Structure 1
């Protein structure tokens, strides 16, 4: 695992080095940064090491920079700190990778990183920018993004949007998404967010335990999934748990899929982000 981590880290650093000249590599940069963060947790499941926090912070910085560049005026550039280095990245406008899947990943990372400025910036990204003709998503995903943006910015209508998102995950309404992936991976964060809003501590912990069990079922269902780095951490449930922890919820569930020190924001403020 140590050698694999070294190779993956070197690869991620090489992609990051290209961002200022070739922002078209943003999709690869975010994917590789998230892979490194997840692999760090494979060897450090509680995220007790500073290096693990650095990896998650770098992934957060890439995700936020992706959308900062997308909304920046044409011909301008955005100044972004990524992996301890200030970088000047040209405005990109909407691209094939500025879709709701990457937006949600960027949002999760900013929430886990407790970076309110980045969360606010992401929530001000126009929903229309995320509708990319190159990539198809079920409509509930857009309701879900709208819910998160509306809730964070304290705009009216969040409850109705959340209901639409939850109803849209019904297998009968799916057009694009895989049913098992939707049920076990994509729906649980929506359900947890609902429990978080209701401030029902017992129900939240019960649903969190269920979400992590579904995560395990999905990512250990066969040999290929078990080897997939994407399943090492339950990123969506982790982010909602961070929101709940910060709101004073007693988090009673412990799991290798839910790194303790990310939940408890142990490393916040350790370095400039």
Structure 2
């Protein structure tokens, strides 16, 4: 089942190498500046995610796939570490992320600056799923939703309920099916493009993955890859590339979960790199 991208970058006007150059330079220099600011946990992670997204347009050589996977592996640990600081803001924590210099930070001011909101959590959790980082997954599954609601950056009720759904499944709670149904109803009621195309896309794909609703996982995955690309094209506007659609971390993470359960991901899409679905480097 082939899913082709609707969006095609104009690489004659803006060559692919130009999109890759800046994040590569920043990543190379990360050890020199990583410890300067706590927010480098997020900015350094975002550069690696952005690079991985643009690398989906490259020929998928072993060098390219390893570069992408390595970047996402670091990004997963950075995101999880950042959000962990927000749970107990006063507490100093020493963080060691692979071969980067160890740093000691606290989470003071994070909530006031709006830095612990659901969209960050979604990216962080499914990054850890993609990279098979169980430690980060467990940490994020324990992030208190009530703490998230104290963030200055507020989200709609569907976003917080989505976090609750994913956390309930992670912990094997009996309430998971009812929370899933409740969140679906809330998304339909909210009725805007994000709720119907993004939130429902997550929920429907996750339902196909985790329940006996007689949904074909691969068909649902293919449908929502297409719908979410269309959403990001609209959301980005005519002058910006819909970069988030190049790798949907959430849908990709669910494909990884499907694969790791011994099932076949039959969807062929540039937004679902096979080496990530199969966990080749993890």
TM-score range normalised by the length of the shorter chain: 0.7 to 0.9
Partner of 1:89, secondary structure, is strand
> Separation in 2 of the partners of 1:65 and 1:107?
11
Partner of 1:97, secondary structure, is coil
Q: 1:105 to 1:54 in 2, by over 3 A?
A: same
- Aligned partner of 1:159 in structure 2 is 177
Query: Unpaired runs of 5+ in structure 1?
Result: 269-273
> Separation in 1 of the partners of 2:67 and 2:27?
14
> Separation in 2 of the partners of 1:166 and 1:17?
45
Aligned residue among 182, 190, 199 for 1:186: 199
Query: Unpaired runs of 5+ in structure 2?
Result: 1-15
Listed as ranges, the matches of 1:39-78 within 5 Å are 39-44=54-59, 49-72=65-88, 74-78=90-94
- Aligned 8 A contact 1:45 1:257 in 2: no
- The runs of 4+ residues in structure 1 deviating greater than 6 Å are none
Q: 1:17 to 1:150 in 2, by over 3 A?
A: farther
Listed as ranges, the matches of 1:89-104 within 5 Å are 89-93=104-108, 94-95=110-111, 96-104=114-122
Listed as ranges, the matches of 1:179-218 within 5 Å are 179-198=192-211, 203-218=216-231
Q: 1:117 to 1:44 in 2, by over 3 A?
A: farther
- Aligned partner of 1:271 in structure 2 is none
Q: CA deviation at 1:13?
A: 5.6
- Aligned 8 A contact 2:187 2:195 in 1: yes
Q: CA deviation at 1:205?
A: 1.1
Q: 1:198 to 1:26 in 2, by over 3 A?
A: same
Matched, 1:173 2:190: yes
- Aligned partner of 1:37 in structure 2 is 52
Q: 1:135 to 1:13 in 2, by over 3 A?
A: farther
Tell me the TM-score normalised to structure 2 length: 0.82
Partner of 1:258, secondary structure, is coil
Q: CA deviation at 1:27?
A: 4.0
- Aligned 8 A contact 1:144 1:165 in 2: yes
- Aligned 8 A contact 1:12 1:32 in 2: yes
Partner of 1:256, secondary structure, is coil
Which deviates more, 140-149 or 100-109? Answer: 140-149
- Aligned partner of 1:22 in structure 2 is 37
- Aligned 8 A contact 2:93 2:106 in 1: yes
Q: 1:7 to 1:205 in 2, by over 3 A?
A: same
> Separation in 1 of the partners of 2:84 and 2:94?
7
- Aligned partner of 1:121 in structure 2 is 139
Matched, 1:265 2:282: no
- Aligned partner of 1:146 in structure 2 is 164
Q: 1:166 to 1:184 in 2, by over 3 A?
A: same
